[in-house]
Copies of this chain bind each other. A is one copy, B any other.
Amino acid sequence: MPPTIPHLSALDTGCPHMRLLVEHVTSKWGLLVLLQLDGRTLRWSELKRAIPGVSEKMLIQTLQTLEADGLVLRAARPVVPPHVEYSLTDAGHDAAALLAPLALWAQDRVREG
């Protein structure tokens, strides 16, 4: 079986920065947030409802991490009560596009076995 990429020539598999970013987007809630925001904009409360089981702490923390990574866009309107919308940046959409097939593959595999 041939390798998927021209073997490791283009990839520094040990790079810690790359690892960190991968950890962020594949983390328990990071993955769900990116998939939920793929192709649409959601308010904080909508996002929370769309991801059953997530705690407020983890949702905020995950969103802040992904925002710092430049994957998630936070748009706050200064009204009362507060109105905050989350969406994906172009880079975030790229990430979602890479993660969706991975999630689908994993789901298909566990359905059989």
- Residue among A10, A26, A113 having the largest count of chain B Cβ atoms under 10 Å: A26
Size bracket of the A interface: 35 or more
The answer to whether B100 touches A5, judged by C-beta atoms less than 8 angstroms apart, is yes
Instruction: Answer yes or no: A103 CB below 8 A from chain B CBs.
Output: yes
Instruction: Answer yes or no: A104 CB below 8 A from chain B CBs.
Output: yes
Residues on B with beta carbons closer than 8 Å to the beta carbon of A18: 103, 106-107, 110
Contact with B along A31-53 (1 / 0, CB 8 A): 11001101110000000000111
The answer to whether A21 touches B110, judged by C-beta atoms less than 8 angstroms apart, is yes
The answer to whether B102 touches A22, judged by C-beta atoms less than 8 angstroms apart, is yes
Instruction: Answer yes or no: A83 CB below 8 A from chain B CBs.
Output: no
